[in-house]
Amino acid sequence: MNKILHKGSRIYIAGHRGMVGSAVKRKLEREGYNRLISRTSSELDLRNQQAVRSFFREEQPEIVVDAAARVGGIMANNEYPWQFLYENLEIQNNIIAAAHEQDVDKLIFLGSSCIYPKHADQPMSEEALLTGPLEPTNQWYAIAKITGVKMVDALRRQYDHDYVSLMPTNLYGPNDNFDLKTSHVLPAMIRKFHDAKEKGHAPVPLWGTGAPMREFLHVDDVADAVFFTLNRSMEHDLYNVGTGKDIRIKDLALLIQDIVGHKGDINWDTTKPDGTPRKLMDVSRLEEAGWEYSIELEEGIRMTYEWFKEHQDEIKELKVEG
């Protein structure tokens, strides 16, 4: 262990065109790291074990950041349970196993706060893992990510690999998914309020009661946490990444409505599920290691809305894969 990042490191970013992967890539480029390795999904199918193994043998990465995954909100998880379970298992298993086989110096595995039980004590600490039932609406994705966390833990224990799992809270920012069928709550709200404003401030329908509490982290902050982790040997295998602060969904809607400038009504559809009542991360473990977030929610949403307006023509046609 104790391999530390240096400017000449060969760094493979899996999922470099996604929200998290692209943020990590931007961060590393800003810091002067120019030996970054990436492949699009058409160039390398991460679900293909042999293709991934061949890629690792040819490219010989020293550092791996696994930000590749099939992701989506409540609706997407409910409609595509098989894809969310099986494809995510394939992707992460192939990457982590190939990294081990090629003796990669350091690996960061990125997951999600949904790995923790639906009714975990708040705020959720890393010790809450596997202490209770999961939220049913995203259990398929969560089970895959839990498996990845345990693979990292197993490789640290058995082979002393310097591999670490980072579990971010709800993320948002540039390159987020704004497709209304598959997006998470914050980008979906930005899209809905913007579209409604464009239609003469039409009413905006939102799911649930608005009562659940959620924590949000700008993706540039999680990229900074990845960079922090790459530059030191971490004591633990698993770290939560978040702000340690949450907000009611109803208050989030009002904040986004104000930032977007929508003047119409909000119609809450209480026949739709709320999901987990509260998901607040205990971020003390990573804070004790020396990292804290820097982008406050209102500032982050304003930045994200500006990005959305600049790119809306190219993102409005995104469709869910079958």
Q: Do 93 and 48 form a contact (C-beta atoms < 8 A)?
A: no
From residue 122, give the alpha-carbon distance in Å to each of 126, 196, 251.
11, 35, 20
Residues belonging to the binding site are 15-21, 110-113, 145, 168-171, 184, 192, 207, 214, 274
The neighbouring-strand residues paired with 110 are 166
Place of tokens 């599920």: 273
In whole angstroms, what is the distance from residue 182 CA to residue 250 CA? 20
- For the stretch 149-166, pLDDT in tens is 999 999 999 999 999 999
One DSSP character per residue, 8-32 reads T--EEEETTTSHHHHHHHHHHHHTT
pLDDT in tens, 296-318: 999 999 999 999 999 988 875 44
pLDDT tens digits along 101-146: 999 999 999 999 999 998 899 999 999 999 999 988 889 999 999 9
Helices (H), the chain: 19-30, 49-59, 74-79, 81-82, 88-101, 139-159, 185-198, 219-230, 249-260, 284-289, 297-315
Q: Is the pTM of this model over 0.75?
A: yes
3-state secondary structure of 70: coil
Q: Which residues are annotated as a binding site for NADP(+)?
A: 15-21, 110-113, 145, 168-171, 184
Catalytic residues: 141
Domains and CATH numbers, the chain: 11-315 (3.40.50.720)
Which residues does 50 contact at the CB level (< 8 Å), separation at least 6? Answer: none
Positions at the binding site for substrate: 192, 207, 214, 274
Alpha helix (H) residue ranges in 177-217: 185-198
Residue-wise over 154-172: b if at least 16 C-beta within 10 A, else e? ebbeeeebbbbbbbbbbbb
